[in-house]
A = this chain, B = another copy of it.
Amino acid sequence: METTDQLAGIEISTEKEELICYSYDSSIAEPELPRAVAWPRNTEQVIRLAKYASDHNISLIPRGAGTGMAGSSVPVATECMVISFEKMRKIIDINTKNMTVVVEPGILNSTLQQELKYLGFFYPPDPASLNISTIGGNVATNAGGPRAVKYGVTRDYVMEIEAVTADGTLINAGGRTYKRAVGYDLKNLLVGSEGTLALSTRIRLKILPLPQDVLTLLAIFKDLETAGQAVTKILSSNIAPRTMELMDRLSIEAVENYKSTGLPPEAEALLLIEFDGISSAVQQEAETVIELCRPFGGDIIVAEDDAARDRLWEARRSISPALYHIKPSKINEDIVVPRDKIAAILKDIKKLSEESGIKIISFGHAGDGNLHVNIMTDKNDPEEYRQGLAIVKKLFEITLNYKGSISGEHGIGITKAPYLEMEIKKRELELMKGIKKIFDPKGMLNPGKIFC
């Protein structure tokens, strides 16, 4: 990198160690080394970086905390600079009357949650990575999380985004009011665009008051399909649990081997079901669910206190890291199907595993039809890995046959880009590429992502 006045005062490194560290995410995408990593401290520095990059034809790879599962923040060419938002992590404003908060993109989801909790509020989207992922990254991938089944996804809470376009212009998308019918919805275009349209510098989010009460149940099933059937039954019964998380036997085993949290070892499938709201309503909903699970043979354990609840959630959130201990290069997909197809696709996945002899571990947000399907392969065994990739393709075909989608919350990034055209038709793809050109005519922002 040439030193230049244009970049004065901006923290930038070209040290190889840094370049390596900032080129990986949590996916299997293989990075190129960027030319530099920059850590802007404010919007003005982001604008200067964008202008510099544009002037010098260096592409920019925006990065939150690198917890992405699809390679969205992984450089694919060397003529690029990673722009890390980890030093733009302030809470700018909390307005409890309007129930909104303004943050910089680099703040961790959990840091925001802690601050809000102190004031009696919460921010509903809770990706399992919430302790290590940033709001900016959550917005870029339209992150979901367990609570999405009741509260919706990141998109539903983003009100306004201040962002810098590829040429260094500052824009505002969305507004301070939730209701708004003024021109095209640029805000929702930016959410989930994986850093390919603009660089977010400030994000206004809706927040909600903390619920009066929370009640957590663990429902234990003797097989996976039955658990899937129970999910559909519960969700069409006029109750709204805030989570409906599924774990299959292999997930349970993986977690218990990684760090024992006391999950029932004999279970073939678990549902982690949580309710929140006014105490009396929560009690009533829980009782209904216990009744509904009975015909499916689902035994129920109620978390008696906060410690018991925390243990259950620790187990749930440990699945993903635990799996890396089984196979270092597991292929992690996050397909989603209409929720009445959960039981059917679980059966199909079992068959895929049996036919190939490759372990497939499924867990995730059953209430949304959104499953994390982990195909346990090792890249060092090329034949196994090739087979793993073949399973991915079949899994996507099955998913799309059920009218589902190849990504529920991870995004397309690099790893799913080759499959995009299985889901998105030619004309829609042309429209998307046209939109990309409008925002970023020179293709400077996060090249190689979403579109091959």
Residues of A in contact with B (beta carbons under 8 Å apart): 95-100, 120, 141-142, 144, 148, 152-153, 155-156, 165, 169-173, 175-186, 188-189, 191-193, 197, 209-210, 212, 232, 235-238, 277-278, 280-281, 284-285, 336-340, 365, 368-370, 403-412, 420, 423-425, 427-429, 431-432, 434-439, 450
Partner of A412, one of B181, B340, B405, B435: B181
Instruction: Determine how many copies of this chain the complex contains.
Output: 2
Whole-angstrom CA separation of A407 from B96 in the bound complex = 24
Residue of B nearest to A185 (CB): B188
CB contacts (< 8 Å) of A450 on chain B: these are 183
CB contacts (< 8 Å) of A197 on chain B: these are 184
Kindly provide the distance from the CB of A428 to the nearest chain B CB, expressed in whole angstroms. 5
Whole-angstrom CA separation of A180 from B185 in the bound complex = 17
Task: Check if B189 sits within 8 Å of A428, measured CB to CB.
Answer: no
Whole-angstrom CA separation of A278 from B213 in the bound complex = 15
Residue of B nearest to A404 (CB): B177
Whole-angstrom CA separation of A403 from B148 in the bound complex = 29
Contact flag A98-B339 (CB < 8 Å), given A186-B432, A406-B182, A427-B165: yes
CB contacts (< 8 Å) of A185 on chain B: these are 155, 185, 188-189, 191-192
A-B CB contact pairs (8 Å), 25 listed: A97-B235, A97-B339, A98-B338, A98-B340, A142-B180, A171-B428, A172-B425, A172-B428, A173-B428, A175-B404, A177-B369, A179-B368, A179-B369, A179-B408, A180-B407, A181-B407, A181-B410, A182-B420, A183-B428, A184-B192, A184-B435, A185-B192, A280-B281, A435-B435, A438-B438
Task: Check if B405 sits within 8 Å of A182, measured CB to CB.
Answer: yes
Whole-angstrom CA separation of A45 from B337 in the bound complex = 31
Whole-angstrom CA separation of A103 from B236 in the bound complex = 20
Task: Check if A179 sits within 8 Å of B336, measured CB to CB.
Answer: yes
Task: Check if A169 sits within 8 Å of B427, measured CB to CB.
Answer: yes
Residue of B nearest to A285 (CB): B278
CB contacts (< 8 Å) of A191 on chain B: these are 185
Whole-angstrom CA separation of A152 from B411 in the bound complex = 25
Contact flag A405-B277 (CB < 8 Å), given A183-B424, A185-B188, A238-B209: no
Kindly provide the distance from the CB of A365 to the nearest chain B CB, expressed in whole angstroms. 7
Whole-angstrom CA separation of A155 from B158 in the bound complex = 13
Task: Check if B277 sits within 8 Å of A428, measured CB to CB.
Answer: no
CB contacts (< 8 Å) of A406 on chain B: these are 182
CB contacts (< 8 Å) of A409 on chain B: these are 179, 181
CB contacts (< 8 Å) of A155 on chain B: these are 185, 188
Residue of B nearest to A197 (CB): B184
Task: Check if B368 sits within 8 Å of A178, measured CB to CB.
Answer: yes
Residue of B nearest to A277 (CB): B281
Kindly provide the distance from the CB of A186 to the nearest chain B CB, expressed in whole angstroms. 6
Partner of A284, one of B98, B238, B278, B438: B278
Kindly provide the distance from the CB of A185 to the nearest chain B CB, expressed in whole angstroms. 5
Kindly provide the distance from the CB of A234 to the nearest chain B CB, expressed in whole angstroms. 11
Whole-angstrom CA separation of A237 from B431 in the bound complex = 44
Whole-angstrom CA separation of A404 from B180 in the bound complex = 9
Kindly provide the distance from the CB of A202 to the nearest chain B CB, expressed in whole angstroms. 14
